[in-house]
Amino acid sequence: MRRPNVIQKETEQIETIEDLTGVFESLATTQIAKVRDKVEVSKEFFSLLWSKYSAIRVDPSTRITNREDDTSQKGAFVVISAEAGLSGDIDLRLVEAVLHDYDPKMTDIIVIGSHGAQQLEQRGVTFTHFFKVPQSDTYIDVSPVIKSIEPYNQVKVYYEEYVSIGVQNIKTIDLIQSIKAMSEDTEDNDNIITENETIFEPSLEEIADIMETAMKSFAFSQVILESGLAQDASRFNAMATAKKRASELVALYHLEYHRAKRSENDRQMREVMVSLKRKKRSTNRA
């Protein structure tokens, strides 16, 4: 049996892990609530932006996509993973989904998040661009990512979807289709804005360009936010499991500690009794 002071030391270490996982757990909960609020604000932003964009009556199907029917060109997979570990198995599932569809001859991979990049490198998969996950409470700068996808005719985004605190899925979207899908949720616009009664500075075309960039950035920011939410939920689950395991270990260590302590007391008592008996015998002999 191990000595009580050794067990006590290990118990203290496990208790520290238990406290730490508890902190991570509550951080993840706070983050989930914060992101949910942001998603609500962002929906309103997109709805207003789209209503103005559709009012200037440019044709989004030819302008936003900028695609030609040229299938010989490569497409791009954009993989949105976590920046660091401790987010359960969600990034592993994400990378497996990417590799399932990946054809090196037809596809380039663009990775957002160090954890995903690490997982791909471990599997010997090369990627053309890597970006850290943009971190901000109010502004997600996706302009470098937008620039990196410009040469591609088809952009498929792999990200982590938050369903509930217990369920997170891997999702794939076509970026352009997702913009169109978002626009379907907004109300039809009958306030047409034309150059006859509105001043455009610098020009209608340039304004449409900027609005399209804004919508692409927005669509990206949305999936990055959604992935972050899923990672937080996954982290929450991983931490809750680790905390539960640590609590169970602490209980076991306490039990072992008390057993060891009692055993040590018994041994000391036996030693005292034996020495008393010896002393008594030697006194009797004398």
Partner 1 sequence: MNQDQVLTVQARAPFELYYRGSALSVSAINKVGKFDILPGHADFFSVINPGDILIETENEEITIPVTSGIVCVKDDEVLLFLNF
Site for partner 1 in 193-252 (CB under 8 A): 193, 197-202, 204, 206-207, 210-211, 213-214, 217-218, 221, 225
CB atoms within 10 A of CB 7: 21
Contact residue for partner 1 among 2, 3, 36, 52 (CB under 8 A): 52
Pairing verdict, β 168-174 and 129-131:
unpaired
Closest approach of partner 1 to the CB of residue 142, in Å: 9
Rounded Cα gap, residues 233 and 52, in angstroms: 35
Contact residue for partner 1 among 7, 18, 46, 108 (CB under 8 A): 46
When asked if residue 38 is in the footprint of partner 1 (CB under 8 A), the reply is yes
The residue count for binding partner 1 (CB under 8 A) is 33
Closest approach of partner 1 to the CB of residue 24, in Å: 24
- State both tokens at 9: 């030391």
Rounded Cα gap, residues 223 and 175, in angstroms: 10
The CA-to-CA distance between both ends of the chain, in Å, stands at: 40
Site for partner 1 in 84-143 (CB under 8 A): 137-140
Rounded Cα gap, residues 154 and 173, in angstroms: 11
Residue closer to partner 1 by CB (options 46, 77) is 46
Q: How far is CA 208 from CA 50, 52, 64, 96, in A?
A: 11, 10, 9, 38
Rounded Cα gap, residues 23 and 28, in angstroms: 9
| Stretch binding partner 1 (CB under 8 A), from 39-47, 59-67, 107-115, 229-237 | 39-47
Closest approach of partner 1 to the CB of residue 251, in Å: 43
Rounded Cα gap, residues 157 and 173, in angstroms: 5
Closest approach of partner 1 to the CB of residue 18, in Å: 34
Binding site for partner 1 (CB under 8 A): 38, 41-42, 44-46, 48-49, 52, 56, 137-140, 191, 193, 197-202, 204, 206-207, 210-211, 213-214, 217-218, 221, 225
